[in-house]
Structure 1
Amino acid sequence: MYASRQRTDNELRASQTFDAQSRHNAYLPPRRHLTGKGYNEYQYPYLLRNLEVTHVNQVWEIDITYIPMQKGFMYLTAIIDVYSRYIVGWGLSNSLDATESLSVVKKAVNTYGAPEIINSDQGVQFSCKQYVGYLKGEGIRISMDGKGRCLDNIYIERFWRTLKYQYIYLHVKTDEIAPLIPKLN
């Protein structure tokens, strides 16, 4: 009895909401597609399947995570060398801007040389024209995870887990995160 009554109440609430919206022309705008037009043009296949990584600078993985702070959060972009498990580049930003990801890659390439392959997820930052153009200009092959496949980028995801659970969540109570990154290498 209760389940059928609850369903009826929910259906009633939904119909009342739709009626009120139609009376006031108050509809939600269509959901924005953040990837923009031509997104498929910058999607690349996953090149790491069955690939044996045998040397440094063969494969790098890049990703972005959010870091909780006292007042909000910031975004940390990091690049890990798959063979050595060494963080070759990182940057902390208050926005998810593609320019931060690109500057992290440029600094890492200037410091360690260009990798053969760089793997990322299909995020907007990694599929924008400037990012893809820079990688192609450096002769770096682009690999992208499948949609919803975080295990394709497992080394950087494992780094995020270590960073957050062993350092951030336990010890950091200030906005000082930069000194922690070199300690993890």
Structure 2
Amino acid sequence: MRLLAIDKGRNTIKKHPQHAGCSDVSYISLRRGFLCLAAIMGWAMREVLAWRISDTLEASFCADALKEAIAKYGKPEIVNKDQGSQFTGNAWITTLTDANIKISLPLGDCAQTPRGNRRPGQYLDEISIERLWRSL
């Protein structure tokens, strides 16, 4: 029938060559310990691009999620991260530098926006992923 919407809305599904991403880890409490849930989100799409779950605090599961997001959606120009051990470890930093992705450090460090402006990092850099954790 070839029905089309009158208002097509924003086209947020197409890949943008200069897109940005954010990443974070949340902890899921269990009776005997916890699990770590890592997520990589795209700013433009505001959806989870890749995720991993682990029963250790090793950084490799975060790097694996990032590699999957890059494979599926292409590499972002910049990735915002917090200062957790998973995102300051060798596996994460190596994955970003090997892919030639800029790193944005929040709170106290100097962050770089997707447009190249430098400014102190802010909590708003990861607002989408923090909202995900609240919903979860």
Give RMSD over aligned pairs: 2.0
Match of 1:157 among 122, 125, 130: 130
Partner Cα separation in structure 1 for residue 27 and residue 101 of structure 2: 27
Structure 1 runs (4+) deviating above 4 angstroms are: none
Matched with 1:28 is: none
Match of 2:54 among 87, 90, 93: 93
Once the two structures are superposed, residues 46-76 of structure 1 have per-residue CA deviations (whole angstroms, 9 ceiling, x without a partner) of xxxxxxxxx5761111000011235432110
Shift of 1:96: 1.3
Identity %: 37
Q: Is 1:123 equivalent to 2:84 in the alignment?
A: yes
Q: TM-score, normalised by structure 2?
A: 0.72
Match of 2:102 among 113, 132, 141: 141
Give the aligned residue type for 1:126: F
User: Residues 158 and 118 (structure 1 numbering): CA distance in 2 closer, same or farther, change over 3 Å?
Assistant: same
SS at 1:135's partner residue?
helix
Structure with the larger helix share:
1
Partner Cα separation in structure 2 for residue 56 and residue 87 of structure 1: 18
In our comparison, the structure showing a higher alpha carbon Rg is: 1
Match of 2:40 among 65, 74, 79: 79
Q: Structure 2: 5+ residue runs without aligned partners?
A: 1-15, 109-121
Q: Structure 1: 5+ residue runs without aligned partners?
A: 1-54, 164-185
SS at 1:96's partner residue?
coil
How many residue pairs match? The answer is 109
Give the aligned residue type for 2:66: V
Structure with the larger strand share:
2
Q: TM-score, normalised by structure 1?
A: 0.54
